[in-house]
Amino acid sequence: MTYTVGSYLAARLSQIGMKHHFAVAGDFNLVLLDQLLTNTELEQVYCCNELNCGYSAEGYARVCGAGAAVVTFSVGGLSAINAVAGAYAENLPVILISGAPNTNDRATEHLIHHTMATHDLTYQLEMAKKVTCAAVAVTSAVEAPAQIDFAISQALRERKPAYIEIACNIAAAPCAAPGPAHGLLAKEPSDPEALQAALAAVTGLLRGKQKPVLLIGSKLRAAGAEKQAVELAEALGCAVTVMAAAKSFFPENHPQFAGIYWGEVGSPAARQIVDWADCVICIGTIFNDYSTVGWTAMPSGADVVTADVNRVTLDGGDFGPVRLSEFLSSLARMVQKRDATLIEYERIRREPERQSAPRSDAKLTRIEVVRQVQSLLTKDTTLIVETGDAWFNGIGMKLPAGARFEIEMQWGSIGWAVPASFGYAVGAASRRTIAMIGDGSFQLTAQEVAQMIRRKLPVTIFLMNNHGYTIEVEIHDGPYNDIKNWDYAGLIQAFNAEDGRGKGLRATNGSELAQAISVAQDNREGPTLIECVIDRDDCSPELISWGRQVAIANARPPRPQ
Ligand code: DPX
Ligand code: MG
């Protein structure tokens, strides 16, 4: 078979495990899209706009390990950049692929459409460099294979997005055939001496400690080290706490799971245990103003080990390149049982109060929605929560074995959840995708529900209609937190048009919600959106406490220069 630049790229995407790529057409990428279509192992999935295309690839990467978004130059690429930067923040290898102007138009006096009517055709590449770990512009079929391989391998190694721009007249140009993909997938090994030094330091520290605790962060998945974290936990026998952004990365049904560590808004026992511990092993953690509740909850000091994706640091010392998975499994083989924190956790833990069902005709509340969604979760469920009170609604739920949880906590862009759920569901056909999304967030990217309808994906969306930006109300209120109400359930009918099987329902009390859920469970031919109508001030107490602390952190006056 003869390869072209586009079919070479398709082969590489397929070799690294992708079965789909997301796309929005435009004249600069049409030939490229044709070339990608020649690969029968790789399905082309369309989105309504490029921001959503980026987020769909991001959601896909969460379940399949990597994702790709194909867009047109400038008008498309610039729109996708928000999602790509989000993938950077969230440690997800999303490959942004953009068509670009003809090579013959460069270095001429031609002005090209979809540009700023200047002769600069490099700005998209320059912008992409800021939000990716590798950015290449392909203008030669001879160099294309090396450039494509470079971008993809960097993205996989660093778990960050990469950018590949392909001139429209190069996409179908013949090029070399792809070789084996092993090199693209190879992980950076630890430096053996650095690994030994890190292990010696940490085992030395642990020898003098009685009360170690593990704190799991969201980079654990990026490092591919979830299994190894369980190995270390079981070797130590200690309590394991999990940051909100890493919910489900350590199984919640594991006997050592000691709750979500998120300061005053997480599980109370988790915070007490971390504060009580004499040594905290932070694994792939990200501490920011949100995750530390306005800098009020963050382990620090000489007894904190930071085991990051490629580094281990302890008491001001950094040991050089150490792969997290290797570090955790080696450490697991060297440590002795230290189970004091688990014993203490067992003493202080309190089972969450079981909510009983209210009168079925009582006005719907947030608590009742959470109660009903909780009862839907099974080993096959992935719960996706949008920025807003949905974070707190989801974080408090108990996940059965096998259930997964997705949150975009570092980037925190509203509008993420609809397209990310779409991308996730494309990648995880056998799982049951459930999304909880606020009304304000939904208004950013609602149209991607139409693609769920087009592909008959049985995603269930709980649209929390609290009539505004409630999380912002709690941080800092003003007229800008009010939004125009929509007929959210009615919207689905509009998206269905003549052939869709999506369902839109509206629940104003518990019994309507239960009926809507049963319709959603039966609807296998498209998404079901359930608009849950609740009061504007019906929000979680955690949101109020968290909002207060974040507002204090935001309001710190400038330091004198
Ligand atoms: C904003 C946020 O309705 O959720 O539960 O009512 O808060 P809640 P909604 O979806 O409203 C979301 C709203 C406006 N954040 O409260 S979290 C600021 C913001 C952001 N991302 C983007 N723009 C603005 N996070 C893209
Ligand atoms: Mg809202």
- Average pLDDT on 26-52 reads 98
Tokens 């721009």 identify what position?
165
Decide: 481 in ligand 1 pocket, CB within 6 A.
no
Close Cβ partners of 87 (under 8 Å, ≥ 6 residues apart): 54, 57, 58, 61, 93, 94, 160, 161
- Average pLDDT on 156-184 reads 96
Distance (Å) from CA 408 to ligand 1 centroid: 12
Distance (Å) from CA 46 to ligand 2 centroid: 28
What's this model's pTM, rounded to 2 decimal places?
0.97
- Average pLDDT on 80-107 reads 96
The pLDDT, as a whole number, for residue 238 is 98
- Average pLDDT on 31-50 reads 98
Distance (Å) from CA 551 to ligand 2 centroid: 18
pLDDT in tens, 45-73: 999 999 999 999 999 999 999 999 999 99
The pLDDT, as a whole number, for residue 339 is 97
Distance (Å) from CA 428 to ligand 1 centroid: 27
Distance (Å) from CA 368 to ligand 2 centroid: 17
Q: Which ligand 1 atom lies nearest to the CA of residue 442?
A: 10
pLDDT in tens, 275-323: 999 999 999 999 999 999 999 999 988 899 999 999 999 988 899 899 9
Cα–Cα distance measured from residue 289 to residue 550, given in angstroms and rounded to the nearest whole number: 7
Q: Are 540 and 367 in contact (CB under 8 A)?
A: no
C-alpha pair distances (Å), 49 with each of 10, 44, 54, 526 = 21, 15, 9, 20
The pLDDT, as a whole number, for residue 234 is 98
Per-residue pLDDT at 350 exceeds 90: no
Q: Are 277 and 211 in contact (CB under 8 A)?
A: yes
The pLDDT, as a whole number, for residue 356 is 83
Per-residue pLDDT at 475 exceeds 90: no
Given pLDDT bands bounded at 50, 70 and 90, which one contains residue 103?
A: very high
- Average pLDDT on 352-361 reads 81
Per-residue pLDDT at 358 exceeds 90: no
The pLDDT, as a whole number, for residue 47 is 98
Of 472, 538, 542, best ligand 1 pocket probe by most atoms within 8 Å of the beta carbon: 472
Q: Are 258 and 341 in contact (CB under 8 A)?
A: yes
Decide: 466 in ligand 1 pocket, CB within 6 A.
yes
Cα–Cα distance measured from residue 382 to residue 432, given in angstroms and rounded to the nearest whole number: 6
Per-residue pLDDT at 509 exceeds 80: yes
DSSP conformation letters of 173-207: SEEPPP--SHHHHPPPPPPHHHHHHHHHHHHHHHH
Per-residue pLDDT at 161 exceeds 80: yes
CA–CA–CA angle 28, 135, 108 (5° rounding): 50
Tokens 């899209």 identify what position?
33
- Average pLDDT on 166-175 reads 98
Decide: 7 in ligand 1 pocket, CB within 6 A.
no
Q: Residues 242-277, buried b or exposed e (16+ Cβ, 10 A)?
A: bbbbbbbbbbbeeebbbbbbbbebbbebbbbbbeeb
- Average pLDDT on 192-203 reads 97
% of the chain exceeding 90 in pLDDT: 89
Residue nearest ligand 1's atom 13 by CA: 469
Q: Are 438 and 466 in contact (CB under 8 A)?
A: yes
Per-residue pLDDT at 125 exceeds 90: yes
Q: Which ligand 1 atom lies nearest to the CA of residue 82?
A: 26
Residue with the bigger pLDDT between 472 and 206: it is 206
Cα–Cα distance measured from residue 547 to residue 344, given in angstroms and rounded to the nearest whole number: 30
Decide: 139 in ligand 1 pocket, CB within 6 A.
no
Residue with the bigger pLDDT between 186 and 244: it is 244
Tokens standing for 19?
A: 């079965």
Tokens 């003809």 identify what position?
102
Arithmetic mean of pLDDT over the chain:
96
Decide: 412 in ligand 1 pocket, CB within 6 A.
yes
Tokens standing for 553?
A: 């952190």
The pLDDT, as a whole number, for residue 107 is 75
Q: Which ligand 1 atom lies nearest to the CA of residue 483?
A: 3
Distance (Å) from CA 473 to ligand 2 centroid: 10
Cα–Cα distance measured from residue 312 to residue 295, given in angstroms and rounded to the nearest whole number: 23
Count Cβ atoms below 10 Å from residue 320 Cβ, excluding itself: 14
Distance (Å) from CA 439 to ligand 2 centroid: 5
Close Cβ partners of 179 (under 8 Å, ≥ 6 residues apart): none
The pLDDT, as a whole number, for residue 360 is 82
Decide: 415 in ligand 1 pocket, CB within 6 A.
yes
The pLDDT, as a whole number, for residue 235 is 98
Residue with the bigger pLDDT between 556 and 520: it is 520
Overall residue count recorded for the chain in this entry: 561
Given pLDDT bands bounded at 50, 70 and 90, which one contains residue 109?
A: confident
Per-residue pLDDT at 186 exceeds 90: no
The pLDDT, as a whole number, for residue 211 is 97
Distance (Å) from CA 471 to ligand 1 centroid: 7
Of 441, 463, 485, 486, best ligand 1 pocket probe by most atoms within 8 Å of the beta carbon: 441
| 3-4/174-175 β-pairing | antiparallel
